[in-house]
Amino acid sequence: MGANAGGGGISQVSNTPFVAMFWGSVPKEKRGRGFGIEGVMGLSTIPASIIGGLMWESGFMVEVLLLPVLLEVFIALPILVTIPDPYIKPTDQR
Same domain, 35 and 51: no
What is residue 56's predicted lDDT score, i.e. its pLDDT?
Answer: 94
Domain count, the chain: 2
The verdict on 20 and 57 lying in the same domain is no
Task: Say yes or no: 56 and 92 in one domain.
Answer: yes
Please report the pLDDT score of residue 36 as a whole number.
83
Residues 38 and 59 in one domain: no
Please give the average per-residue pLDDT across 9-27, as a whole number: 72
Whether 56 and 27 share a structural domain: no
Task: Quote the percentage of the chain above a pLDDT of 90.
Answer: 18
* Structural domain for 24, as ranges: 1-43
Contacts of 85 (CB under 8 A, 6+ apart): 25
- 4, 39: one domain: yes
Q: Do 39 and 50 have their domain in common?
A: no
Res 84 pLDDT > 70: no
Say if residue 47's pLDDT is above 70: yes
- Give the span between the Cα atoms of 14 and 19, in whole angstroms: 10
